[in-house]
C-alpha cells in the first residue's frame, strides 16, 4: 500500500527590484532570483533584471499601470499560493520596496495565513531614489531634517480619509507623494488649504531612475499646471519642500551623455549585456535586437582535429572571444588544458579576445594596434623577424571570415590551417518584434560586419526596408570594415569608432550624440 506524500510548500521571496534602473537591484535580490523556479513580476520591473533568473524559471507578468490591471491583487494572491505549492522557490518581484506602498504586506499576510514560508528582501525605494535621480536630496542640512512618505492614491474602497493633508501642510520637512498624478491638483490644493505656502518649491518626476525620466520644477501653486503643460504622466513622484529647489544645481542623471537615447544593440544575446550595461550607465535605454547567434561550424570535426593537434602549431591565432571559447570548450571535452599552447606564440585580435584568453591563463604574444585582419597580419609578420617560411599557423576563427589574414600569412611562407571554429548565423525575429524595437530608437550599433549584414537581411525578409512608415535609425559602427558592411546592407553610418573596441564604439556614440563629430 502506498501513501501519497504531499509536497511541502516552497519558499516565497518578496523581493524589491528598486525603481527603474536595474543596477539598483540588491545583491540579495539577485541571489534570490538566481534560485527561482517561478518569478512573478510587476510592470515597473525593468526586464533586464530578469536575466538573473535561471533560463528554466517560469516568468509570469502580473503588471499594473495607470489603472489598467493585467491581474488584480486577489488574482496575484491566489497565484502566489498556487505556485508556492507547486515550486520550491518563488520570487515575487515588485518595483521599489515591497513594504513601502507596494502591497507586499498584504501578500505576506496571505502567505502567512496559508502556512507558506516567506522572506522579505527590501528594495531601494522610489521614495528616496527617484528624487535622488532627479537631483533632489529628500533631506538636506539647513533645509529639511525630516521627510514624510505619502500615497497620493488611496484605496478607493476606504470610507475614511487616510491622509491628513491639513497635518502635512504643517509638516516642517519634505513631503514625497507617490502615485499622485491623477489627484495632483486636488492634493496640492489641500496642502495650500491647510496653510502650506503656494510658493513652496515643488517638483514632479515621471518614470524616475529610467532613461525615460522627465522632471518639472515649480512651486506648490504652479506644479499642477506645469505637469499638464509638459504632458507628465504616471508613474510619477511629487516632492514638496525647500529641497526641491536644489534640482537645478544637483540634477545629474538627465545630464549623462546618452541620457534618454534609445539605442539598439545588435550583438549576439550572450554578448549584448556588456554593451547594454555600459549604455545604461551613460543614461541610455538599450534595447537588444540580436542579429547574430553563435553556432557550431557545419562540420565540427576540423575544429576538433585542430585542437587535438594544437601542440604542433608554431602560432595560434584567435580573432574573437567566440573563437577562444570554442577552442577551450573542445579542449575541455578532450580532457586537456591550456598547456597545449605552451610551445606556440598566441596572437589575439583586440582586448576582448585578450581578456577571454587571460581567463584561461594565456597571455597573448601578439596584439595589433588596430583590430582588423590587415593589422593583425602585419603584427604577426613583424613579430617573426626570421620569417614565417615553414611555420605552422592555426587560424581558429569564424567560418566564412574574410580571407585577408590567411592570404597574407601564406604569401610570407606560413603553412596556414584556416579552421572554422563557429558560425555567426541569423536569428529568426518576427516583423512585429523588429517594429517594436525600432519604434522611437535613436541609433543602431554594429560591432561586426556580420551584425550589419544579418540585420539588413532580417529587414529585407520582414519588409522593413519597403515600409515607409518605419524609420530605420542611423548606425554607429565599431570600425571601417563594419561600416562598409553596414553601408552595403543599406544602413546609413553616422559615426565610426576610432578605436575598434566596445569602449571605442561607445565614445563614437557619445561624440555623435553630443555633436562632437
- Residues designated catalytic: 42, 64, 179
Residues 6 or more apart in contact with residue 97 via CB below 8 angstroms: 16, 104, 122, 123, 124, 125, 126
Identify the helix (H) or strand (E) that includes residue 312: none
Which three three-digit cell numbers place residue 181? 498624478
- Please count the helices (runs of H) and the strands (runs of E) in the chain: 18, 22
C-alpha to C-alpha distances, 480 to 488, 505, 506, nearest whole angstrom: 12, 12, 15
Radius of gyration of the chain (CA): 28
Of residues 91, 125, 118, the one with CA closest to residue 9: 118
Buried (b) or exposed (e) across 359-373, using 16+ Cβ within 10 A?
eeebebebbbebbbb
d(CA 277, CA 14): 26
Residues 6 or more apart in contact with residue 232 via CB below 8 angstroms: 181, 204, 206, 214, 216, 226
| 8 A C-beta contact, residue 371 and residue 349 | yes
Long-range contacts of 216-222 (CB under 8 A, 24+ apart): 217/244, 217/245, 217/247, 217/248, 220/188, 220/191, 220/192, 220/196, 221/188, 221/192
In the sheet that 118-121 helps form, which strands lie side by side, from edge to edge? 58-61, 38-41, 89-94, 11-16, 118-121
d(CA 219, CA 244): 9
Which three three-digit cell numbers place residue 89? 522557490
d(CA 474, CA 18): 33
| 8 A C-beta contact, residue 295 and residue 427 | no
Dihedral, CA of residue 77, residue 78, residue 79 and residue 84, to nearest 10:
90
Amino acid at each position: 500500500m502506498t501513501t501519497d506524500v504531499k509536497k511541502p510548500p516552497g519558499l516565497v521571496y518578496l523581493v524589491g527590484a528598486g525603481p527603474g534602473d536595474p543596477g539598483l537591484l540588491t545583491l540579495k535580490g539577485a541571489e534570490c532570483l538566481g534560485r527561482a523556479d517561478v518569478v512573478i513580476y510587476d510592470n515597473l520591473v525593468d526586464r533586464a533584471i530578469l536575466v538573473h533568473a535561471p533560463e528554466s524559471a517560469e516568468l509570469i507578468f502580473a503588471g499594473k499601470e495607470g489603472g489598467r490591471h493585467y491581474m488584480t491583487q486577489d488574482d496575484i494572491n491566489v497565484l502566489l499560493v498556487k505556485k508556492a505549492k507547486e515550486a520550491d522557490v518563488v520570487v515575487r518581484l515588485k518595483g521599489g520596496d515591497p513594504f513601502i506602498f507596494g502591497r507586499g504586506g498584504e501578500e505576506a499576510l496571505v502567505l502567512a495565513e496559508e502556512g507558506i514560508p516567506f522572506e522579505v528582501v527590501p528594495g531601494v525605494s522610489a521614495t528616496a531614489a527617484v528624487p535622488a535621480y532627479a537631483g533632489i536630496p529628500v533631506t538636506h542640512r539647513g533645509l529639511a531634517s525630516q521627510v514624510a512618505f505619502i500615497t497620493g492614491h488611496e484605496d478607493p474602497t476606504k470610507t475614511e480619509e487616510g491622509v491628513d493633508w491639513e497635518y502635512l501642510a504643517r509638516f516642517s520637512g519634505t513631503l514625497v507623494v507617490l502615485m499622485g498624478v491623477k489627484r495632483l491638483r486636488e492634493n496640492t490644493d489641500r496642502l495650500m488649504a491647510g496653510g502650506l505656502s503656494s510658493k513652496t518649491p515643488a517638483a514632479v518626476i515621471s518614470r524616475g531612475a529610467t532613461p525615460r525620466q522627465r522632471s518639472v520644477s515649480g512651486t506648490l501653486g504652479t506644479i499642477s499646471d506645469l505637469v499638464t503643460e509638459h504632458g507628465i504622466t504616471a508613474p510619477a513622484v511629487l516632492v514638496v519642500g525647500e529641497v526641491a529647489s536644489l534640482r537645478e544645481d544637483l540634477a545629474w542623471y538627465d545630464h549623462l551623455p546618452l541620457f534618454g537615447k534609445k539605442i539598439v544593440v545588435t550583438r549576439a544575446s550572450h554578448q549584448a549585456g556588456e554593451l547594454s550595461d555600459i549604455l545604461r550607465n551613460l543614461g541610455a535605454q538599450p534595447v537588444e535586437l540580436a542579429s547574430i547567434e553563435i553556432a557550431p561550424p557545419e562540420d565540427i570535426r576540423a575544429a576538433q582535429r585542430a585542437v587535438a593537434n594544437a601542440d604542433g602549431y608554431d602560432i595560434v591565432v584567435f580573432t574573437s572571444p567566440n573563437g577562444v571559447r570554442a577552442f577551450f570548450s573542445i579542449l575541455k571535452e578532450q580532457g586537456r588544458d591550456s598547456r597545449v599552447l605552451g610551445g606556440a606564440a598566441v596572437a589575439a585580435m583586440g582586448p576582448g579576445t585578450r581578456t577571454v584568453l587571460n581567463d584561461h591563463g594565456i597571455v597573448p604574444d601578439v596584439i595589433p594596434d588596430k583590430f582588423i585582419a590587415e593589422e593583425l597580419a602585419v603584427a604577426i609578420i613583424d613579430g617573426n623577424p626570421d620569417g614565417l617560411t615553414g611555420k605552422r599557423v592555426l587560424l581558429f576563427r569564424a567560418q566564412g571570415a574574410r580571407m585577408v589574414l590567411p592570404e597574407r600569412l601564406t604569401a610570407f611562407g606560413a603553412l596556414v590551417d584556416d579552421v572554422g571554429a563557429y558560425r555567426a548565423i541569423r536569428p529568426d525575429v518576427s516583423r512585429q518584434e523588429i517594429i517594436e524595437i525600432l519604434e522611437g530608437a535613436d541609433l543602431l550599433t554594429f560591432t561586426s560586419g556580420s551584425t550589419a549584414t544579418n540585420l539588413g537581411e532580417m529587414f529585407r525578409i520582414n519588409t522593413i526596408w519597403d515600409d515607409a512608415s518605419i524609420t530605420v535609425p542611423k548606425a554607429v559602427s565599431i570600425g571601417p570594415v563594419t561600416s562598409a558592411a553596414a553601408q552595403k546592407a543599406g544602413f546609413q553610418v553616422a559615426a565610426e569608432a576610432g578605436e575598434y573596441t566596445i569602449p571605442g564604439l561607445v565614445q563614437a556614440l557619445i561624440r555623435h550624440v553630443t555633436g562632437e563629430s
